[in-house]
Amino acid sequence: GAGVSQSPRYKVAKRGQDVALRCDPISGHVSLFWYQQALGQGPEFLTYFQNEAQLDKSGLPSDRFFAERPEGSVSTLKIQRTQQEDSAVYLCASSLGLAAAYNEQFFGPGTRLTVL
Amino acid sequence: DQQVKQNSPSLSVQEGRISILNCDYTNSMFDYFLWYKKYPAEGPTFLISISSIKDKNEDGRFTVFLNKSAKHLSLHIVPSQPGDSAVYFCAAEDTNAGKSTFGDGTTLTVKP
């Protein structure tokens, strides 16, 4: 595909369930970012990969959040034992490098997670 | 404590007039600033950016101004078009850290 894709687009989970959100970056993009966007707010950084290496996970809100990119391409964000405060849009972005100043970040459409 | 603030949640302008969107930041380490545009059900797309060594960057109808002493930047859209109606996010980056910090966005409505 030409852009970043994410699946599912919408996910409804019962509190306590585990969820897995998928991101397919643009082919050849070594950098991959996950953001969380709560209603009415801007995207907040969660974690960053360069190829398969997770170089920064400082934004993950708790140890219930886990991200992986085992082969340096597709990435999965997993949330264990979901809570209502996890309800948000989860955005994935990819780029050719780290800093947005030098490498444009391309965002996917996001996955809207609703925890009941 | 929010490091990037967009104090106007919404802005409405008439087609053909100027739209001015504002953004303030607090972290002196930020050295690069970006504006993104977001349509409903889509991800943000990059619009225009500016380095901290400049005070103005222009791209067609879009101009970004940076006032470092005031820690303030603004996006000017002239002339505004109905297709410009979207949410605009200001973002700031410390290029050494490589992470962007976003404001909460301003919803621009351009009326025909």
**B24 Cβ under 8 Å from any chain A Cβ:** no
First to last CA, chain A: 33
Residue A1 above 60 pLDDT?
Answer: no
Residue A70: asked if its preceding bond is cis (omega within 30°), the reply is no
| Partner residue facing B43 (CB), from A48, A101, A107 | A107
Chain B: give the shortest CA distance to residue A110, in Å.
6
The letter for the amino acid at B7 is N
Q: pLDDT tens, A33-85?
A: 999 999 999 999 999 999 999 999 999 999 999 999 999 999 999 999 999 99
What local confidence, expressed as pLDDT, does residue A103 receive?
A: 87
pLDDT at site B97? 85
Contact assignment for B93 to A98 by CB distance below 8 Å: no
| A62-88 burial: b if 16+ Cβ within 10 Å, else e | eeebbbebeeebebebebeebeeebbb
Q: What is the pLDDT of residue A47?
A: 97
pLDDT at A101: 81
Q: What is the DSSP letter of A2?
A: -
- DSSP secondary structure letter of residue B68: T
Is A34 an 8 Å CB contact of chain B?
no
Contact B103/A42, CB-based, under 8 Å? yes
pLDDT at B22: 98
Residue among A36, A105, A106 with most chain B CBs within 10 A, to mutate: A105
DSSP designation for B95: T
Could A99 and B31 be called an inter-chain contact, meaning their C-beta atoms sit closer than 8 Å? no
For residue A84, the Cα-to-chain-centroid distance in whole angstroms is 18
- In this complex, is the C-beta atom of B98 within 8 Å of any C-beta atom belonging to chain A? yes
Measured distance CA(B73)–CA(B71) in Å, rounded: 7
CB spacing of A100 vs B91 below 8 angstroms: yes
Run of H or E residues at A23: strand A19-24
In terms of phi and psi (left: phi > 0; alpha: psi -120 to 50; beta: otherwise), the region of A85 is: alpha
Query: What's the pLDDT tens digit per position in A15-34?
Result: 999 999 999 999 999 999 99
Per-residue pLDDT at A39: 94
pLDDT averaged over consecutive 10-residue blocks of chain B (112 residues)? 93 98 97 96 96 97 97 98 98 91 98 96
Nearest chain B CA: its distance from A38 CA (Å)? 10
